[in-house]
Structure 1
Amino acid sequence: MPYDPKTMNDDPSALRGRFAGLSNKLIATIIGVILLVEIVIYFPSVASFRNTWLEDRLRVGVVAARVLDAVPDVMALPRELTDRLLTSAEADAIVYRRAGQSQLIERAEPVMPDIVTMADLRQRDLPSQIMGAIDTLLAGPGRTLRIVGEGDSEESLVELLMPEQPLRRDMLDYSRNIMLVSLGIASVTAFALYMVVSRLFIDPMVRLSANMLAFRKEPDNAALILTPSSRRDEIGIAERELAAMESDLFSMLRQRQHLADLGLAVAKINHDLRNTLTSAQLLSDQVATLDDPNVQRLAPRLVTTLDKAIGFAQAVLDYGRDAVAPPKFAPVALRPLVEEAAFEARLSGHPTVAFVNQVPADLVVTADAGQLSRVFLNLLKNAREALEKLNGGGDPLEVVVSASASAGLAGAMAQVSIVDNGPGLPPRARDNLFVAFEGSARSGGTGLGLVIAREIVQSHGGQLSFVDQPKGTRFDLTLPMAPIEA
């Protein structure tokens, strides 16, 4: 059956706890192989047990033969002695043959057997012994066993007639004990081998499978890119190749999204650039024909218009070329990072806007410092520009950054809030806040800053969201405080 992602269980935990998993297949295979080996060993073992059992009974017959030799021919053995010999051998009759003569010891009431099978102990080859053992195990009740073996003198034979049921009962008990011992050995061996093989092979394969399932669901989350181990075998090669493939896929998807946004915005870019540059052209024509006072008055407008056109075009080109690389995770202290971003955004020491950094000094996250700095720089710069539009006269203008740590299902997370008491976002900007070229809150903006910021936060395994409030603007970030394990 071909693999269909839509019909497969996406839960990585489904890889465990059912027979389809490698762990259970491994245990079943190990136990099966050990039991198969035990079965191969069992038949020679039970044949040896049967042969030893028969030889023990034959020894009693040899003792009886010695007694017969010691008794003169004219005398008969006492019934008490014969019964004792027959009881010791569990036999109904003992026959001693030597030099063409036969001597018989039997019970007072002879037993006439219906079915007799012979066990010739003179045959020492293993196949014959195994076939005899199998025949005994499969025999039904009521059979009589005729045991034939050599006596203790030359050219002498000893024969015993006895019920086969005691031998079969003892063989079944022996088989049961062998089975219990075999199961115990198989279980212990399987567990020991499983622990070793699981450590070396199964756990890495489960990690690879879980990572592939998780990354398939969120290919834009760079925190899910596999961190390969230092193994040099085939599993190590698979880990490194999977990590490289996921990194390439992450970059390709990000570039594709950027190019798609660019394609949708081509018409708008051309229109805005044409209008802006047309205005610049008209103003430059007027500058060329006017006297010096008018040049002084029109020149700033010309420069501003051209700056807008250049800035807009440059932002679009930067977005198209921005192939966001996977983050290089390392411990980062948030407070100095926010402080540095505020300085670059020209908030530190601003004459009219106060900057308040309330991030705890000991709050550390696992992130790419360079990429995370871009996020804070964009958000703080947007806040400063929004507050600079106000003429004052009301509450003191300020931008406050606060943070705290919290625990969730995904692990320890840092919650960061960036709040200003400015005019807030217009409705159009709120509706298209994270849409490229649509979510700008200021005239001449491209709307790319928040889109790139959200992409960076998502690639860290976090979230960037806008929080609606009656006054001002607030953005919340969630960032993992420890690396995400796939």
Structure 2
Amino acid sequence: MLNTLSGRFLILTTIFVMLAEVLIFVPSIARFREDYLLLRLERAQIASLALLADDMISEDLEEELLRNAEVFNVVLRRDEARQLALSSPLPQPIDATFDLRGAGPFVLIRDAMARLFDPEPRVIRLIGYPTNAAGVLIEVTMETAPLRTAMIDYGLRILALSAVISVFTAVLLFLAVRAFLVKPIKRLVGDMQAYAAAPEDARNIHAPRAGVVELREAEEALSMMQTELTGALKQKERLALLGSAVAKISHDLRNILTSAQLFTDRIEMSEDPAVKRMAPKLVGSITRAVNLCESTLTFGRAEEPAPNIVSVKLWDLVDDVFEAERLAVGDAEVSFAEDVPASLTLRADAEQLHRVISNLVRNARQAIVATGQAGEIAVRASERDGQWIIDVSDTGPGLPPKAREHLFTAFQGGARKGGAGLGLVISAELIRGHGGRLDLLDTGAEGTTFRICLPMEGVADASALD
């Protein structure tokens, strides 16, 4: 109960109301004391006026007048002449004198608190103005015990009333908080738990219905987020099913195309001119289809294996990639240039880095060949800022706008007609596995440059891994 929002709100409300009542209690006690003393002055004035009306009053009547006024002596000054109106023996010497004629609120509060916490009965002198301009001043002596008793009784009544008001107010606020905050929050939490159990079920999306503006805004934001998440989960599920189906189809299709590729090797040996003319195109089409199937299968894996970090001589790796691409160039005028220091040795997975550079060089070669013009592909490497930097550039036509927009998005970032856009996605993933990044540095009519950045730090020592 005490750990709940409503329970803590109830306790805090009670404490704050009681604190407010205490702050009211202090000036209230001071006001009560002032009224009590003024009443004694008024009664004493009435008693003294009775004496002025008849100078010859008996001692018994004088004693009764003082007893009714609850004072020992009364001095009334009229017309600048000090007169002792009524008097009786004092039980003890006068302890203090209090002048109510010019006392401010802080003085009254101070004197009231001092009297409230002083249990000793004392005799005090009190000075004030007579009522209705019946004289210059009136002075009385009185005992403090009845005053303190009356103050304590008044204070207890004030505290009791404050406690009742505090409890009543706290209960009302407790019920209000439960109705307007706690219940909507509990309902919201329940809906969130139901949604978490089955996020794909659109029926579990929270429907905003709170009356409080802030809670309503929170519910609307939650509903929007749940709607988007449910849609994303459904799309992800559909894509997963589609990916599984595509992977199966690609696997079987690759096997079929591989068999067809073997037959095309025999067709190429035919002496028929028409067959000789069509066979290279058939072989190229089948080869591209096989590559597409292999790329799709590779991308469909749950994740690429962790890189096996070894020492790699980059010059040998780039030379091997260039040798393979020179064979694929055919009659096209494509030249290859490498600016890689022969002594440059970096630490990476040799196979994965070969795949990345080979993919970038192959894309560059295909872009140049597609233009039908001469071009150059260059690979440059250097060490700076704690990184190995590898730039792969070409003098091709540059990437089209759609390819730049979806450069690293599968099945959308293909730069050539019929391409699936998987090569760059896989390459970027492999480089991220090394703790580096693959970026498009520049592209345009003058050519395209990709940059590979591999960190030198944080890579295990090759000697321990070779």
Measured against the shorter chain, the TM-score band is 0.3 to 0.5
Q: Structure 2 length normalisation: TM-score? A: 0.47
Q: Structure 1 length normalisation: TM-score? A: 0.45
Higher relative contact order (CA 8 A, sep 6+): 1
CA radius of gyration, larger in: 2
